Every structure is written in structure tokens, then in C-alpha cells.
Amino acid sequence: MIKEIIFYTFSSVLICSSLAVILFRNPVYSAVSLILSFITSGFLWLLLDAEFLAIVLILVYVGAVMVLFLFVIMMLNINNEKEKSSFNSLAPFALFVGLVIAAELITLIWINSSQFNLNSEAIQKPDQVSNTLLLGTELFTNYILSFEVAGFILLLAIIISISLTLRTRKNVKTQVATDQINTEPSSRIKLVDLKERK
Amino acid sequence: MLTLQSYLSLAAIIFAIGIIGIVINRKNIIIVMMCTELLLISVNFNFIAFSYFNQDIAGQIFVFFILTVAAAEAAIGLAILVALYRNKKSIDVQELKTLRN
């Protein structure tokens, strides 16, 4: 009974905060609502026995990705004043598309529920090992190649995002360390023989 | 009674909200990227629900990789956005029609 109460409370919070993400005009408010929906879905994943992924969702998404979003929003300095117009012209179409998608998916889920065994309770196994241990064992044995590829994807992301945003300004007076190191004494000091004055 | 249906329906609703957000938004690419994150969250919800109700850890492994790739995607997308803003001084969806015609 307590699980049902938690599920319905948190899922209504999740739906309201996701609606707030798309309805706020100020992108900072949208980002904060998205943080709320990530935390709420983290709690709902805890309900589904996915403890490690719930913590990873909160740490990585709220701690890193959303901070990056907020940083970019505040760095770009977008003016919000002229956003009032042309917001509602696509709204009926968008609402139509969204409602059709939701109706199709929910019909699909509820119409064949008994055939695909969707409406039964979960099989409760006696759980000796923790979720993190289970996930780690599986990840480092059967999925080790995928794990390496994921690490490589992260490395690629670092390289690409740095090379996209890095810019070297012209006409800025800075030290060039390589030139300083590679210089030789002959280019800096010139020894001149002075004639002795009589 | 909490069944798989309730979790799948919740994920379907979140997915539809994300789609509506992508279509409705005409001014700001950042909100489009946030709606993409909403879509990814709903798909991850489906994976975790199936993983719990079938007692199979492979779904959670898949969610792990989806989270990794989504973080990389968000970083690269925001880098592209910053480079775009530097060139055009705007991140308006409507003004990005350089490739038209």
C-alpha cells in the first residue's frame, strides 16, 4: 500500500515538473524544473530496485549535466522579452501530436496486457546480493567491451567539445612558452668586440 | 496494485510531454535539448521497469550506457550551441535557416 502511495505521489510530481519544463518561458526556470523531474525519477527508480542507477542519475545529471545547462544559459545571455510572441501558434498542432502519441502508446500498453503478462505483480526473488554488486559483476564480465567503448565515447566527447569551443584570439600579447624554451643564446646576446679607444 | 502497466503509462506520458515540448518551442534551442533529456528519461524508465518486472539485470546495464551516451551528447550539443552563438549572436530556432534553398 505504501508503494502505491509513493508511486502515485511521485509520478504526479514528475508529470507536473515535466509540464513545467516546457511551459516556462524563462530557460532558467525550465532547467530547475528539469532538475526536479530528474530527482523525482531517481526516487521512482529506487522503488524499482535500481539503487545504483538512481544515485548515478542524481549525481551525473543533476550534478554535472544540469549545471552545464545552467552555465550555458547564463553565459549566453538570451533576452526573454521578445519571446512572448509566436509561442502559441504551434500549440494546437503540438498538443494534437502529443495527445496522439500518448493515446497510441497507452492503448498499446493496455490492450494486450494479459497476452504479454504486463498486468501481473513482479516476481519477488530473495535478494542476497546488492544491486550495485550485481550490476558491477555483469558490467565487468559480460559487457566489458561495451564498457570500454563507453569510456572511449566519453573521451571523444571531451575532445570534441574542447575543440569546438576553444578559440585562440589574435592580437593578444601573451607569452609563447615553446619559443621561450627553444631559443638559443646566440639570438639573445650579441657579443661585440669594441675597439680600444686611444 | 503496481503493475508494469502503470510504469509504462507514466513513461508514455513523459515521452508525449517531451514531444510536445520539442514541437511547441520555436525560440530556444536549449529547451529543445532539455526536452530530449525528458525523452531519454522516459525510455530509461521503460528499461528499468522491464528489468524489475522480469528480474533481468541487462535492462539496467543498458540504462547505464544510455546515461553515458546522453551525458556525452549533452556536452557536445552545448559546445555546438556555444559555437553557434558566437557566430550568429542568437540561438533562435527560427533564424537557423542558413541551409534553406
Q: Render pLDDT for A129-149 as a digit per residue (tens, 0 to 9).
A: 788 898 999 899 999 999 999
State yes or no: pLDDT of A17 exceeds 70. yes
CB contact under 8 A, A19 and B67: no
Q: Where in chain A does DSSP place strands (E)?
A: none
Closest CA to B21 of B8, B30, B32, B7: B32
Whether domain B4-88 has CATH 1.10.287.3510: the reply is yes
The minimal CB distance from A27 to the residues B9, B31, B55 is found for B31
Q: Does one domain contain both A73 and A3?
A: yes
Which of the two residues, A90 and B65, has the higher pLDDT score? B65
- Residue with the larger pLDDT of the pair B25 and A14: A14
The CA-based dihedral angle spanning residues B42, B47, B51, B52, taken in that order and rounded to the nearest 10 degrees: 0
Q: Which domain holds residue A134?
A: 129-161
Residues of B with CB below 8 A from A39's CB? none
Q: How many domains does chain A have?
A: 2
- Low-confidence winner among A74-78, B17-21, B73-77 (lowest mean pLDDT): A74-78
Cell numbers for B85: 552563438
Q: What is residue A126's predicted lDDT score, i.e. its pLDDT?
A: 62
State the ipTM, two decimals. 0.91
Mutation for testing the B interface, residue in A13, A18, A96, A134 having most B CBs under 10 Å: A18
Structural domain includes residue A155: yes
| Nearest residue of chain B to residue A43 (CA atoms) | B45
What residue of A is the nearest CA neighbor of B77?
A161
Pick the residue with more confidence: A50 or B90?
A: A50
Report yes or no: A142 and B73 within 8 Å, Cβ to Cβ: no
Domain locations along chain B: 4-88
CA atoms within 13 A on the CB side of B39: 15
Model confidence at A114: pLDDT above 80: no
Q: Could you say which of B23, B54, B58 has the minimum Cβ distance to residue A93?
A: B23
Mean pLDDT of chain A: 86
Residue A110 domain flag:
no
Q: Are residues B5 and A118, on separate chains, in Cβ contact within 8 Å?
A: yes
Q: Is A72–B78 a contact, with Cβ atoms under 8 angstroms apart? A: yes
State the Cα torsion B19-B69-B41-A113 to the nearest 10°. Answer: 90
DSSP assigned state of B22: H
What per-residue confidence (pLDDT) applies to A3?
87
